[in-house]
Amino acid sequence: MASEEFIYSLAYLLIAVCVVVPPTEFRAAGLTVQNLLSTWLGSEDVYFIHYHIKRTTATVVVHSLLPIGYYIGLSFVAPDLNLQTPWEANTLWQLYLLASTIYLICASALAVYWQSHKWSCHRMARTLSYHGTSWRAVAAAIDIEFRRIDKFTSGPPGARVIITDSWIMKVSAYNVNVAHQQDCHLNILKSEDHSISHESSTGAQFLTIEVISVNGNIKPFTIRLNSSEYRDLKDKVQAPVVNARNVVITQSLTDRFLDAFREQVAHNPRYHLPEGSVEPDPCIGCMQITSNVKLQKFCEDASQGECVQCYCRPMWCMECMCKWFANRQDQRQPETWMSGKSPCPTCRSKFCVLDVCRLA
pLDDT value at residue 241: 87
Please state, rounded to an integer, the average pLDDT across all residues of the chain. 88
Q: How far apart are CA 172 and CA 223, in angstroms?
A: 10
Highest mean pLDDT among 127-136, 197-206, 235-244, 294-303: 127-136
pLDDT in tens, 248-281: 777 677 778 888 888 888 898 898 888 878 888 8
**Whether the predicted pLDDT of 307 surpasses 90:** no
Mean pLDDT across 124-149: 92
Mean pLDDT across 307-328: 88
pLDDT in tens, 163-186: 999 999 999 999 999 999 998 999
pLDDT value at residue 299: 80
pLDDT value at residue 2: 56
pLDDT value at residue 1: 47
Strand partners, 153: 162
